[in-house]
């Protein structure tokens, strides 16, 4: 019986390696549609399993800010069927999934404690989606996911396999993607009438509350002097957008 189990495990590993060698990208997701399909499934699982705030005004507040930022997006994102959900959880995190799913954990309010700071968070996460960073990350990290499966199979824990969308929420973006999301996020929030200077305030808050152990949002979104410098460098055009939006009475009140 033991030999049969070992043989099954070995055959499973050989099969996995065979599948990898047949796919030049070493990816589970071979198309954007496959990533979106898995993201939809993960989104449904999250909505079923995670609680939402008892106070409906919290959902309305976040929805209002997200809607304002979505209103300045270009096609095809402007007309996408967006869905925003606040999860009652202490995680200092937020995310945007393929298909227009935006999740915000109530723990993020510890650092994004103003409408403008929250707009910086949401703008940044939407930028990761519109700039295809989420799709790229799913493909680039799929080899790491394969190693997880191989390790689980070798230890007899093959029933527990991380899905690609779980990785979408936990694995970091690279520095170039972070810098791009910062700049594009500034553009979105400022055009929607939110003060882009709040992005610097947000990241400073992140560092101050970390107390040596960075919160989830900071751990997967590297900060530091370089990031602050890049934000300052991109601030002038963002402030121009913000002033134009203010002159057009786009200073929305979501409170």
* Positions marked catalytic: 125
Angle (CA) 104 109 115, round 5°: 90
Q: What is the signed CA dihedral for 233, 236, 241, 244, rounded to 10 degrees?
A: 170
Measure CA of the first residue to CA of the last residue in the chain; give whole Å. 64
Helix (H) or strand (E) holding 29: none
Contacting residues for 20 by C-beta, under 8 A, at least 6 apart: 26, 143, 146
* Cα dist from 72 to 75, 131, 233, whole Å: 10, 15, 22
Tokens of 187: 């553009």
Q: What is the signed CA dihedral for 98, 102, 105, 108, rounded to 10 degrees?
A: 100
Rg for the chain, CA atoms, rounded: 20
């Amino acid at each position: 019986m033991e030999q049969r189990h070992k043989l099954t495990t070995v055959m499973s590993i050989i099969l996995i390696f065979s599948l990898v060698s047949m796919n030049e990208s070493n990816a589970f997701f071979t198309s954007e549609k496959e990533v979106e399909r898995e993201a939809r499934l993960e989104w449904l699982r999250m909505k079923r399993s995670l609680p939402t705030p008892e106070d409906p005004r919290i959902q309305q507040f976040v929805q209002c800010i997200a809607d304002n930022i979505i209103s300045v997006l270009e096609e095809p994102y402007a007309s996408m069927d967006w869905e925003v959900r606040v999860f009652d959880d202490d995680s200092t995190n937020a995310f945007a999934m393929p298909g227009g799913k935006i999740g915000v954990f109530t723990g993020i309010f510890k650092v994004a404690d103003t409408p403008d700071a929250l707009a910086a968070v949401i703008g940044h996460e939407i930028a990761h989606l519109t700039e295809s960073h989420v799709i790229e990350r799913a493909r680039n990290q799929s080899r790491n996911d394969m190693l997880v499966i191989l390790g689980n199979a070798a230890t007899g824990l093959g029933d527990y396999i991380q899905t690609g969308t779980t990785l979408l929420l936990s694995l970091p973006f690279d520095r170039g993607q972070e810098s791009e999301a910062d700049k594009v996020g500034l553009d979105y929030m400022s055009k929607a009438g939110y003060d882009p200077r709040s992005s610097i305030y947000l990241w400073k808050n992140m560092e101050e509350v970390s107390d040596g152990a960075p919160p989830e949002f900071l751990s997967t979104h590297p900060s530091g002097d370089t990031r602050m410098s890049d934000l300052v460098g991109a601030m002038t055009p963002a402030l121009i957008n913000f002033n134009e939006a203010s002159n057009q009475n786009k200073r929305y009140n979501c409170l």
